[in-house]
Amino acid sequence: MRILAITVLALLWLGLLSVAQTNNCIVCHSEIRVEYLESAHAPAGVTCVDCHGGDPATLDYRAAHAGSSTPSRAQIPQLCASCHADPVRMKPYGLRTDQYAEYQTSGHGKAFAAGDLNAALCTDCHTSHRVMSRFEPRSSVHPENLAQTCARCHADSELMKPYELSTDIVDNFRQGVHGTALQQGNPRAPTCATCHGLHGSTLLQPEDIVTVCGTCHIAERQYFDKSVHRSKTHSAEFKGCAACHGDHRILSVQSDLFDTACASCHRADTGALTLAERLKTLLVASQQALHEAQTVLDQAEAMAFDVSGYWSRLHEAQTNLLQARTAQHTLDEAQLAELARRAHAIANDIRSEAHSLQTAVQIRWLGLTLVWGYLLLVLIVVYLYRQERRRAREL
Protein backbone atom coordinates (compact mmCIF):
# COMPACT_ATOMS: atom_id res chain seq x y z
CA MET A 1 0.00 0.00 0.00
CA ARG A 2 2.72 2.42 1.02
CA ILE A 3 4.81 1.51 -2.03
CA LEU A 4 1.81 2.21 -4.24
CA ALA A 5 1.29 5.62 -2.63
CA ILE A 6 4.95 6.53 -3.04
CA THR A 7 4.91 5.44 -6.70
CA VAL A 8 1.81 7.50 -7.39
CA LEU A 9 3.31 10.54 -5.68
CA ALA A 10 6.56 10.13 -7.59
CA LEU A 11 4.72 9.84 -10.88
CA LEU A 12 2.65 12.94 -10.08
CA TRP A 13 5.77 14.86 -9.18
CA LEU A 14 7.51 13.75 -12.38
CA GLY A 15 4.42 14.71 -14.39
CA LEU A 16 4.39 18.14 -12.79
CA LEU A 17 8.09 18.50 -13.43
CA SER A 18 7.73 17.63 -17.10
CA VAL A 19 5.02 20.29 -17.52
CA ALA A 20 7.09 22.68 -15.44
CA GLN A 21 10.12 22.06 -17.60
CA THR A 22 8.38 23.51 -20.62
CA ASN A 23 6.13 25.89 -18.69
CA ASN A 24 7.94 27.57 -15.80
CA CYS A 25 5.15 30.11 -15.44
CA ILE A 26 3.15 27.68 -13.30
CA VAL A 27 6.06 27.14 -10.94
CA CYS A 28 5.75 30.68 -9.62
CA HIS A 29 2.03 31.28 -10.32
CA SER A 30 0.82 28.46 -8.12
CA GLU A 31 -2.81 29.61 -7.54
CA ILE A 32 -3.36 30.02 -11.26
CA ARG A 33 -1.71 26.64 -11.81
CA VAL A 34 -4.48 24.94 -9.83
CA GLU A 35 -7.23 26.55 -11.92
CA TYR A 36 -5.36 26.15 -15.18
CA LEU A 37 -4.65 22.43 -14.72
CA GLU A 38 -8.41 21.81 -14.26
CA SER A 39 -9.27 23.66 -17.47
CA ALA A 40 -10.05 22.31 -20.94
CA HIS A 41 -7.10 24.34 -22.23
CA ALA A 42 -4.37 22.51 -20.30
CA PRO A 43 -4.82 19.07 -21.94
CA ALA A 44 -5.21 20.75 -25.35
CA GLY A 45 -1.76 22.33 -24.96
CA VAL A 46 -3.04 25.92 -24.80
CA THR A 47 -0.53 27.45 -22.38
CA CYS A 48 0.07 30.66 -20.47
CA VAL A 49 2.15 32.17 -23.27
CA ASP A 50 -0.64 31.65 -25.83
CA CYS A 51 -2.64 34.28 -23.97
CA HIS A 52 0.09 36.27 -22.20
CA GLY A 53 3.33 35.97 -24.15
CA GLY A 54 6.66 35.77 -22.26
CA ASP A 55 9.30 33.06 -22.06
CA PRO A 56 8.21 29.84 -20.37
CA ALA A 57 11.67 28.23 -20.52
CA THR A 58 13.22 30.36 -17.79
CA LEU A 59 12.72 30.80 -14.08
CA ASP A 60 14.20 34.27 -14.13
CA TYR A 61 11.49 36.79 -13.26
CA ARG A 62 12.59 39.40 -15.77
CA ALA A 63 13.35 37.12 -18.68
CA ALA A 64 10.10 35.21 -18.09
CA HIS A 65 7.99 38.36 -18.35
CA ALA A 66 9.81 39.93 -21.30
CA GLY A 67 7.03 40.78 -23.78
CA SER A 68 4.30 39.41 -21.54
CA SER A 69 1.12 41.24 -20.55
CA THR A 70 -2.26 40.84 -18.92
CA PRO A 71 -4.96 41.13 -21.60
CA SER A 72 -7.14 44.18 -20.96
CA ARG A 73 -10.93 43.78 -21.02
CA ALA A 74 -10.98 45.49 -24.39
CA GLN A 75 -8.70 42.79 -25.85
CA ILE A 76 -10.43 39.68 -24.52
CA PRO A 77 -13.03 38.81 -27.19
CA GLN A 78 -10.43 39.19 -29.94
CA LEU A 79 -7.96 37.06 -27.98
CA CYS A 80 -10.39 34.16 -27.52
CA ALA A 81 -11.65 34.50 -31.08
CA SER A 82 -8.10 34.26 -32.44
CA CYS A 83 -8.43 30.51 -31.84
CA HIS A 84 -12.16 29.90 -31.43
CA ALA A 85 -13.22 31.63 -34.66
CA ASP A 86 -10.50 29.81 -36.62
CA PRO A 87 -11.98 26.71 -38.31
CA VAL A 88 -8.58 25.18 -38.98
CA ARG A 89 -7.55 25.35 -35.32
CA MET A 90 -10.87 24.14 -34.00
CA LYS A 91 -11.42 21.31 -36.46
CA PRO A 92 -9.58 18.57 -34.50
CA TYR A 93 -11.75 19.30 -31.46
CA GLY A 94 -15.07 19.36 -33.29
CA LEU A 95 -15.91 22.73 -31.70
CA ARG A 96 -18.11 25.26 -33.48
CA THR A 97 -16.47 28.50 -34.53
CA ASP A 98 -19.45 30.86 -34.44
CA GLN A 99 -19.27 31.99 -30.79
CA TYR A 100 -17.56 35.27 -31.59
CA ALA A 101 -19.84 35.99 -34.56
CA GLU A 102 -22.91 35.26 -32.43
CA TYR A 103 -21.51 37.25 -29.55
CA GLN A 104 -21.26 40.31 -31.77
CA THR A 105 -25.02 40.11 -32.46
CA SER A 106 -25.88 39.93 -28.74
CA GLY A 107 -26.84 42.73 -26.39
CA HIS A 108 -23.50 42.18 -24.65
CA GLY A 109 -21.48 42.22 -27.88
CA LYS A 110 -23.17 45.35 -29.17
CA ALA A 111 -22.63 47.18 -25.88
CA PHE A 112 -18.99 46.04 -25.92
CA ALA A 113 -18.52 47.25 -29.51
CA ALA A 114 -19.89 50.62 -28.39
CA GLY A 115 -17.14 50.77 -25.77
CA ASP A 116 -19.09 49.55 -22.71
CA LEU A 117 -16.68 47.32 -20.75
CA ASN A 118 -19.38 46.37 -18.19
CA ALA A 119 -21.06 44.10 -20.70
CA ALA A 120 -20.31 40.39 -20.37
CA LEU A 121 -17.11 39.25 -22.12
CA CYS A 122 -16.04 35.69 -22.88
CA THR A 123 -14.14 35.47 -19.58
CA ASP A 124 -17.10 36.75 -17.50
CA CYS A 125 -19.01 33.62 -18.40
CA HIS A 126 -16.14 31.17 -18.91
CA THR A 127 -13.53 32.53 -16.43
CA SER A 128 -9.98 33.22 -17.60
CA HIS A 129 -8.13 30.24 -16.22
CA ARG A 130 -10.67 27.66 -15.15
CA VAL A 131 -12.23 27.41 -18.61
CA MET A 132 -14.21 24.16 -18.65
CA SER A 133 -16.37 22.28 -21.08
CA ARG A 134 -20.10 22.86 -20.60
CA PHE A 135 -20.51 19.15 -19.80
CA GLU A 136 -18.28 19.37 -16.75
CA PRO A 137 -20.57 19.72 -13.68
CA ARG A 138 -18.27 22.32 -12.08
CA SER A 139 -18.14 24.46 -15.22
CA SER A 140 -19.37 28.04 -14.89
CA VAL A 141 -21.53 27.43 -17.98
CA HIS A 142 -22.95 24.05 -16.91
CA PRO A 143 -26.78 24.39 -17.00
CA GLU A 144 -27.03 24.07 -13.21
CA ASN A 145 -24.44 26.80 -12.59
CA LEU A 146 -25.27 29.23 -15.36
CA ALA A 147 -27.87 31.28 -13.45
CA GLN A 148 -25.21 31.96 -10.80
CA THR A 149 -22.78 33.08 -13.51
CA CYS A 150 -25.30 35.54 -14.96
CA ALA A 151 -26.30 36.65 -11.44
CA ARG A 152 -22.84 38.11 -10.83
CA CYS A 153 -23.93 41.05 -12.95
CA HIS A 154 -27.69 40.73 -13.38
CA ALA A 155 -28.35 40.65 -9.63
CA ASP A 156 -26.02 43.62 -9.02
CA SER A 157 -28.26 46.66 -8.72
CA GLU A 158 -25.34 49.16 -8.87
CA LEU A 159 -24.11 47.70 -12.13
CA MET A 160 -27.56 47.35 -13.71
CA LYS A 161 -28.90 50.78 -12.76
CA PRO A 162 -27.83 52.63 -15.93
CA TYR A 163 -29.41 49.98 -18.15
CA GLU A 164 -32.78 49.87 -16.39
CA LEU A 165 -32.70 46.08 -16.39
CA SER A 166 -34.43 44.34 -13.48
CA THR A 167 -32.17 42.68 -10.91
CA ASP A 168 -34.63 40.12 -9.52
CA ILE A 169 -34.46 38.00 -12.68
CA VAL A 170 -32.20 35.31 -11.28
CA ASP A 171 -34.11 35.01 -7.98
CA ASN A 172 -37.38 34.86 -9.88
CA PHE A 173 -36.02 32.24 -12.22
CA ARG A 174 -34.88 30.08 -9.31
CA GLN A 175 -38.31 30.25 -7.67
CA GLY A 176 -40.08 29.27 -10.88
CA VAL A 177 -40.78 25.78 -12.26
CA HIS A 178 -37.85 25.83 -14.65
CA GLY A 179 -35.22 26.89 -12.09
CA THR A 180 -36.57 24.35 -9.60
CA ALA A 181 -36.53 21.59 -12.21
CA LEU A 182 -32.92 22.44 -13.11
CA GLN A 183 -31.86 22.28 -9.47
CA GLN A 184 -33.49 18.86 -9.29
CA GLY A 185 -31.31 17.80 -12.20
CA ASN A 186 -34.01 17.75 -14.91
CA PRO A 187 -31.98 18.11 -18.12
CA ARG A 188 -35.04 19.10 -20.14
CA ALA A 189 -35.60 22.36 -18.26
CA PRO A 190 -34.38 25.59 -19.89
CA THR A 191 -31.53 27.73 -18.54
CA CYS A 192 -30.88 31.41 -19.24
CA ALA A 193 -29.05 30.57 -22.43
CA THR A 194 -31.80 28.26 -23.77
CA CYS A 195 -34.21 31.18 -24.03
CA HIS A 196 -31.84 34.09 -24.67
CA GLY A 197 -29.37 32.34 -26.94
CA LEU A 198 -25.97 30.88 -26.06
CA HIS A 199 -23.78 33.66 -27.31
CA GLY A 200 -26.52 35.77 -28.78
CA SER A 201 -27.97 36.92 -25.41
CA THR A 202 -30.70 39.22 -26.61
CA LEU A 203 -34.09 40.36 -25.44
CA LEU A 204 -36.94 38.35 -26.87
CA GLN A 205 -39.55 39.97 -29.07
CA PRO A 206 -43.13 38.81 -28.33
CA GLU A 207 -43.12 36.67 -31.51
CA ASP A 208 -39.86 35.00 -30.43
CA ILE A 209 -41.25 34.20 -26.98
CA VAL A 210 -43.95 31.99 -28.50
CA THR A 211 -41.35 30.25 -30.65
CA VAL A 212 -38.88 29.76 -27.78
CA CYS A 213 -41.46 28.37 -25.31
CA GLY A 214 -42.96 26.35 -28.16
CA THR A 215 -39.75 24.42 -28.80
CA CYS A 216 -40.54 22.46 -25.62
CA HIS A 217 -44.26 23.11 -25.07
CA ILE A 218 -45.28 22.09 -28.57
CA ALA A 219 -48.99 21.39 -28.06
CA GLU A 220 -49.55 24.60 -26.05
CA ARG A 221 -48.01 26.56 -28.88
CA GLN A 222 -50.16 24.88 -31.53
CA TYR A 223 -53.31 25.63 -29.56
CA PHE A 224 -52.23 29.17 -28.75
CA ASP A 225 -51.64 29.79 -32.47
CA LYS A 226 -55.37 29.27 -33.00
CA SER A 227 -56.42 31.80 -30.35
CA VAL A 228 -57.57 35.39 -30.82
CA HIS A 229 -54.41 36.53 -29.04
CA ARG A 230 -52.04 35.12 -31.65
CA SER A 231 -52.30 38.17 -33.91
CA LYS A 232 -51.62 40.42 -30.90
CA THR A 233 -48.04 39.12 -30.59
CA HIS A 234 -47.08 41.23 -33.60
CA SER A 235 -47.00 44.20 -31.26
CA ALA A 236 -45.20 44.71 -27.95
CA GLU A 237 -48.43 44.87 -25.90
CA PHE A 238 -48.90 41.08 -25.80
CA LYS A 239 -45.73 39.21 -24.79
CA GLY A 240 -46.74 35.80 -26.12
CA CYS A 241 -46.79 33.06 -23.49
CA ALA A 242 -45.22 35.46 -20.98
CA ALA A 243 -48.33 37.67 -21.13
CA CYS A 244 -50.11 35.18 -18.85
CA HIS A 245 -47.32 33.04 -17.37
CA GLY A 246 -44.68 35.71 -16.76
CA ASP A 247 -41.10 35.40 -17.99
CA HIS A 248 -38.85 34.13 -15.18
CA ARG A 249 -41.09 33.35 -12.23
CA ILE A 250 -43.25 30.88 -14.17
CA LEU A 251 -45.22 28.89 -11.64
CA SER A 252 -46.80 25.48 -11.75
CA VAL A 253 -50.23 26.16 -13.20
CA GLN A 254 -53.42 26.37 -11.14
CA SER A 255 -56.78 27.36 -12.56
CA ASP A 256 -56.77 30.65 -10.63
CA LEU A 257 -54.50 31.86 -13.41
CA PHE A 258 -57.78 32.56 -15.22
CA ASP A 259 -58.61 35.11 -12.52
CA THR A 260 -55.24 36.77 -12.21
CA ALA A 261 -53.89 36.73 -15.78
CA CYS A 262 -57.01 37.55 -17.77
CA ALA A 263 -58.00 40.36 -15.41
CA SER A 264 -54.60 42.01 -15.81
CA CYS A 265 -55.68 43.10 -19.31
CA HIS A 266 -59.45 42.71 -19.60
CA ARG A 267 -61.93 44.80 -17.68
CA ALA A 268 -64.63 43.25 -15.49
CA ASP A 269 -67.98 42.48 -17.11
CA THR A 270 -66.44 42.07 -20.56
CA GLY A 271 -66.95 39.04 -22.78
CA ALA A 272 -63.35 38.01 -22.20
CA LEU A 273 -63.68 37.74 -18.42
CA THR A 274 -66.99 35.90 -18.48
CA LEU A 275 -65.42 33.46 -20.94
CA ALA A 276 -62.48 33.06 -18.55
CA GLU A 277 -64.90 32.25 -15.73
CA ARG A 278 -66.70 29.60 -17.84
CA LEU A 279 -63.44 27.94 -18.96
CA LYS A 280 -62.22 27.85 -15.39
CA THR A 281 -65.51 26.35 -14.14
CA LEU A 282 -65.35 23.57 -16.75
CA LEU A 283 -61.82 22.62 -15.76
CA VAL A 284 -62.36 22.90 -12.01
CA ALA A 285 -65.57 20.84 -12.14
CA SER A 286 -63.88 18.02 -14.10
CA GLN A 287 -60.91 18.11 -11.77
CA GLN A 288 -63.28 17.82 -8.79
CA ALA A 289 -65.16 14.89 -10.38
CA LEU A 290 -61.89 13.08 -11.01
CA HIS A 291 -60.80 13.69 -7.47
CA GLU A 292 -64.01 12.20 -6.10
CA ALA A 293 -63.78 9.17 -8.39
CA GLN A 294 -60.25 8.58 -7.17
CA THR A 295 -61.37 8.80 -3.53
CA VAL A 296 -64.15 6.25 -4.08
CA LEU A 297 -61.71 3.87 -5.82
CA ASP A 298 -59.18 4.27 -3.01
CA GLN A 299 -61.86 3.45 -0.43
CA ALA A 300 -63.05 0.43 -2.40
CA GLU A 301 -59.50 -0.84 -2.75
CA ALA A 302 -58.92 -0.43 0.99
CA MET A 303 -62.01 -2.63 1.53
CA ALA A 304 -60.30 -5.30 -0.60
CA PHE A 305 -62.57 -4.95 -3.63
CA ASP A 306 -61.08 -5.77 -6.98
CA VAL A 307 -61.09 -2.37 -8.77
CA SER A 308 -58.10 -3.01 -11.03
CA GLY A 309 -60.24 -2.57 -14.14
CA TYR A 310 -61.19 0.94 -13.09
CA TRP A 311 -57.73 2.47 -12.84
CA SER A 312 -57.19 2.45 -16.59
CA ARG A 313 -60.49 4.26 -17.10
CA LEU A 314 -59.55 6.81 -14.47
CA HIS A 315 -56.29 7.27 -16.35
CA GLU A 316 -58.23 7.88 -19.56
CA ALA A 317 -60.27 10.56 -17.81
CA GLN A 318 -57.08 12.16 -16.51
CA THR A 319 -55.66 12.25 -20.03
CA ASN A 320 -58.79 13.99 -21.25
CA LEU A 321 -58.46 16.56 -18.51
CA LEU A 322 -54.80 17.16 -19.33
CA GLN A 323 -55.76 17.64 -22.97
CA ALA A 324 -58.47 20.06 -21.90
CA ARG A 325 -56.00 22.07 -19.83
CA THR A 326 -53.72 22.33 -22.84
CA ALA A 327 -56.52 22.94 -25.35
CA GLN A 328 -57.88 25.92 -23.40
CA HIS A 329 -55.04 27.86 -25.02
CA THR A 330 -57.29 28.11 -28.10
CA LEU A 331 -59.90 29.88 -25.91
CA ASP A 332 -62.35 27.74 -27.91
CA GLU A 333 -65.06 26.97 -25.39
CA ALA A 334 -66.74 24.21 -27.47
CA GLN A 335 -63.52 22.21 -27.85
CA LEU A 336 -62.66 22.54 -24.18
CA ALA A 337 -66.21 21.66 -23.12
CA GLU A 338 -66.11 18.45 -25.16
CA LEU A 339 -62.85 17.25 -23.57
CA ALA A 340 -63.88 18.32 -20.09
CA ARG A 341 -67.28 16.63 -20.56
CA ARG A 342 -65.58 13.34 -21.50
CA ALA A 343 -63.38 13.44 -18.40
CA HIS A 344 -66.36 14.34 -16.27
CA ALA A 345 -68.55 11.57 -17.72
CA ILE A 346 -65.94 8.85 -17.17
CA ALA A 347 -65.36 10.05 -13.62
CA ASN A 348 -69.09 9.98 -12.90
CA ASP A 349 -69.40 6.45 -14.36
CA ILE A 350 -66.54 5.19 -12.24
CA ARG A 351 -68.01 6.74 -9.14
CA SER A 352 -71.49 5.32 -9.59
CA GLU A 353 -70.21 1.87 -10.65
CA ALA A 354 -67.86 1.69 -7.69
CA HIS A 355 -70.75 2.71 -5.48
CA SER A 356 -73.08 0.03 -6.86
CA LEU A 357 -70.26 -2.49 -6.57
CA GLN A 358 -70.00 -1.57 -2.92
CA THR A 359 -73.78 -1.72 -2.45
CA ALA A 360 -74.04 -5.10 -4.20
CA VAL A 361 -71.35 -6.55 -2.00
CA GLN A 362 -72.90 -4.98 1.05
CA ILE A 363 -76.20 -6.73 0.19
CA ARG A 364 -74.31 -10.00 -0.24
CA TRP A 365 -72.73 -9.54 3.17
CA LEU A 366 -76.12 -8.83 4.67
CA GLY A 367 -77.50 -12.08 3.10
CA LEU A 368 -74.54 -14.05 4.35
CA THR A 369 -74.92 -12.62 7.83
CA LEU A 370 -78.60 -13.59 7.87
CA VAL A 371 -77.85 -17.18 6.79
CA TRP A 372 -75.13 -17.57 9.42
CA GLY A 373 -77.38 -16.01 12.01
CA TYR A 374 -80.13 -18.48 11.13
CA LEU A 375 -77.74 -21.45 11.34
CA LEU A 376 -76.48 -20.25 14.69
CA LEU A 377 -80.01 -19.94 15.94
CA VAL A 378 -80.81 -23.51 14.83
CA LEU A 379 -77.68 -24.79 16.58
CA ILE A 380 -78.62 -23.03 19.79
CA VAL A 381 -82.16 -24.43 19.63
CA VAL A 382 -80.82 -27.98 19.00
CA TYR A 383 -78.37 -27.58 21.90
CA LEU A 384 -81.02 -26.31 24.29
CA TYR A 385 -83.37 -29.13 23.19
CA ARG A 386 -80.71 -31.77 23.91
CA GLN A 387 -79.87 -30.18 27.26
CA GLU A 388 -83.57 -30.30 28.10
CA ARG A 389 -83.79 -33.99 27.04
CA ARG A 390 -80.72 -34.93 29.17
CA ARG A 391 -82.12 -33.17 32.25
CA ALA A 392 -85.49 -34.96 31.73
CA ARG A 393 -83.70 -38.37 31.53
CA GLU A 394 -81.73 -37.70 34.75
CA LEU A 395 -84.88 -36.88 36.66
244 interacts with ligand HEC by CB under 6 A: yes
Yes or no: say if 233 and 210 are a contact pair by the CB < 8 Å rule.
yes
The least distance separating ligand HEC from the CB of residue 182, rounded to whole angstroms, comes to 9
Q: How far apart, in Å, are the Cα atoms of 254 and each of 105, 258, 285, 312, 354?
A: 38, 9, 13, 25, 29
The nearer residue to ligand HEC, 113 or 376, going by C-beta atoms, is 113
For 373-386, the DSSP string reads: HHHHHHHHHHHHHH
Residue number with CB closer to ligand HEC (131 or 300): 131
Window 149-188: residues binding ligand HEC (CB under 6 A): 149-150, 152-154, 163, 165-166, 169-170, 173, 177-178, 181, 186, 188
In angstroms, the first-to-last Cα distance of the chain is: 100
121 near 73, Cβ under 8 Å? yes
Q: Answer for the pair 182, 174: CB distance below 8 angstroms, yes or no.
A: no
CB of 239 to ligand HEC, least distance (A): 6
Span near ligand HEC by CB under 6 A; candidates 119-127, 310-318, 368-376, 387-395: 119-127
Pick between residue 270 and residue 356 the one whose CB is nearest to ligand HEC: 270
Residues ≥6 apart with Cβ < 8 Å to 37: 26
C-alpha dihedral sign at 96, 101, 104, 107: negative
Complex with ligand HEC: residue 270 or 369, whichever CB lies closer: 270
Q: What share of the chain is helix, strand, coil (3-state, %, to 5)?
A: 70, 0, 30
Query: For residue 317, how many other CB atoms are within 10 A of its CB?
Result: 23
List the interface residues with ligand HEC, window 329-388 (CB under 6 A). Answer: 329, 331
Q: Which is nearer to ligand HEC, 5 or 114 (CB)?
A: 114
**CA distances, 336 to each of 51, 281, 359 (Å):** 61, 11, 34
Of 16, 19, 20, 29, the residue at the interface with ligand HEC (CB under 6 A) is: 29
CA distance 344 to 338: 10
Which residue number, 274 or 359, has a Cβ lying nearer to ligand HEC? Answer: 274
Residues 306-325 contacting ligand HEC, CB under 6 A: 325
Number of residues forming the site for ligand HEC (CB under 6 A): 140
Q: How many residues does the chain have?
A: 395
Candidate segments 125-133, 309-317, 342-350, 368-376, binder of ligand HEC by CB under 6 A? 125-133
Considering only residues 267-306, where is the footprint of ligand HEC by CB under 6 A? 270-272, 275-276, 283
For ligand HEC, the binding residue among 95, 285, 357, 361 (CB under 6 A) is 95
Looking at residues 181 to 240 of the shown chain, list those that interact with ligand HEC (rule: CB under 6 A): 181, 186, 188-196, 198-199, 201-204, 209-210, 212-217, 220-221, 224, 228-229, 232, 237-238, 240
How far is it, in rounded angstroms, from Cα 191 to Cα 178? 8
